[in-house]
Amino acid sequence: MKSRRAKFVAGLTALVLVTAACGSDDSSSTDTDTPATTAAPATTAGGSDTTAAPAALEGTIVVSGSSTVEPISIAVAEEFAAVNPDVNISVDGPGTGDGFKLFCAGETDINDASSKVKPAQLEECAANGIEMIELKVGNDGITMMTNTANSAVECLSFEQIYALTGPESQGISSWAQANAVAAELGETGTLPDAPLSLVGPGEESGTFSSFVEIVIEEFNEDRGQDATTRPDYQASADDNIIIQGIQGSDTSLGWVGFAFAKEATDVKVLQVSEEAGGECVTPTDETIGNNTYPISRPLFIYVNKAKAESNAALAAFVDYYLSNDGIANVAEVGYVSLSDADLASLRDTWSTRTVFAG
């Protein structure tokens, strides 16, 4: 009994010592680390170690930001970490805005973003002396489709898409029934009185959240609705089943990611206009590439310039991100790859470390 208590006390004491040791360890390591990260390339940390090979990369890379871009960054990080085991990488996806808060506080090295940096975010970063390099790594795009037999519909406005698929459309079974809501939103065109058979990706899919974020969120708040689609449509996680559903009914409406829709045959791709009466745009590589097609958005990574210069591991990571192997992950994850010209200018922006000024 007594000896056990003694052991317990000894254990506690040991813990206190360890904690104390780790506390003091800490302050000394900060002192030595800080100059290394600001003044000299990260390899100096290994340089003091006589056994370390100078070629092995060491350092820490912290990526945060958009959950839309997160899968690309995770895939790139996995491949990079496999080759560079001594580099510590962490990737998170709290959202573009939250990510910029961390980025502008200097906590993260790279911010993933599914929309261009906002002037306020740019100012916040500038106030903290943080310069960023904007790198557009890909595009996110969604194609609206109907059956090839459907000749009554050529182009849909965002208002009409919201009226057909948004939370307020629950229960409607004909295209024409969406006219009332669309008209309230300012749409003057009318949809045909034909049965509406809706197919689309299920709630668990990334395409679903992109669709909601790009189209539905334009309207839902003003209309006092939740940011979601109507629940009563044929949902599938499998793009092939969505395409089959569109082919299966003469007046169907469905949507899938552009990268997949490009390969689909025997469906009619609809044009989309961002506002009622606006210009109708067909989704193509070009219109997605320059984001003139409304249901598309650019996917960015923003790199902290000063850290990219001081942290060799970070620079190597971005190098790999933009390499052919790294950037291939954009398409692998399901997004739209950049055109060759865009890729060339992207690499140029990075190699010259061009700071984004707004």
Partner 1 sequence: MALSQPRQAASLAADLVSDITRNERDLSGKAFRIALLAGIITAFVVLVVLIVDVINVGSPVLSERLGDLLSSTLGSKPETSGLSQALRGSFYIGVFVLLVAVPLGVSAAIFLEEYARQGRLTRFIDINIRNLAGVPSVVYGILGLTVFVQALRAFTGPDSNGRSVISAGLTLSILVLPIIIITSAEAIRAVPNGIREAGYGVGATRWEVVKSHVLPYAAPGILTGTVLALARALGEAAPLILVGATTGFLTSGSSYLPSSLQERFTALPIVISTWSGRPGEDWRASTAAAIVIMLAVVLVANAGAILLRNHYEKKR
Q: Quick check: 83 binds partner 1 (CB under 8 A)?
A: no
Residue in this structure with the two tokens 């989309």, named with its chain if needed: 272
Q: How many CA atoms lie within 13 A of 103 on its CB side?
A: 35
What sign has the CA pseudo-torsion 90, 93, 94, 97? positive
Interface with partner 1 (CB under 8 A), residue total: 40
Contact set for partner 1, span 203-222 (CB under 8 A): 204-206
Cβ-contact 33, 66 below 8 angstroms: no
Phi and psi (nearest 5°) for 44?
-60, -30
User: Which listed range, 27-35, 41-49, 190-198, 259-267, lies at the site for partner 1 (CB under 8 A)?
Assistant: 27-35
Question: H helices within the chain, ranges in order?
Answer: 2-38, 43-47, 70-83, 96-104, 119-127, 158-165, 179-184, 206-214, 239-248, 258-261, 285-289, 305-310, 312-322, 324-333, 340-351
Question: H helices within 84-169, ranges in order?
Answer: 96-104, 119-127, 158-165
Q: How many CA atoms lie within 13 A of 182 on its CB side?
A: 23
Among 32, 78, 190, 193, binds partner 1 (CB under 8 A): 78
Among 42, 74, 135, 313, binds partner 1 (CB under 8 A): 74
Write the binding mask 103 to 122 for partner 1: x where contact by CB under 8 A, - elsewhere: ----x---------------
Length of the chain: 358
Among 41, 44, 52, 75, binds partner 1 (CB under 8 A): 75
User: Which listed range, 79-87, 125-133, 188-196, 306-314, lies at the site for partner 1 (CB under 8 A)?
Assistant: 79-87
Q: Quick check: 87 binds partner 1 (CB under 8 A)?
A: yes
DSSP letter string, 165-202 = HSGGGTT--BGGGGHHHHHHTT--S---S-B-EEEEE-
Among 73, 160, 165, 337, binds partner 1 (CB under 8 A): 73
Write the binding mask 160 to 199 for partner 1: x where contact by CB under 8 A, - elsewhere: ----------------------------------------
Among 41, 45, 52, 81, binds partner 1 (CB under 8 A): 81
Q: Quick check: 22 binds partner 1 (CB under 8 A)?
A: yes
Q: Quick check: 97 binds partner 1 (CB under 8 A)?
A: no
Rounded to the nearest whole angstrom, what is the least distance from the CB of residue 67 to partner 1 in the complex?
8
**The tokens of 219 are what?**
């309207």
C-alpha of 304 from chain center: 18
Residues contributing to the site for partner 1 (CB under 8 A) = 12, 15, 18, 21-23, 25-27, 29-30, 33, 60, 62-63, 70-71, 73-75, 77-78, 81, 85-94, 107, 202, 204-206, 237, 333
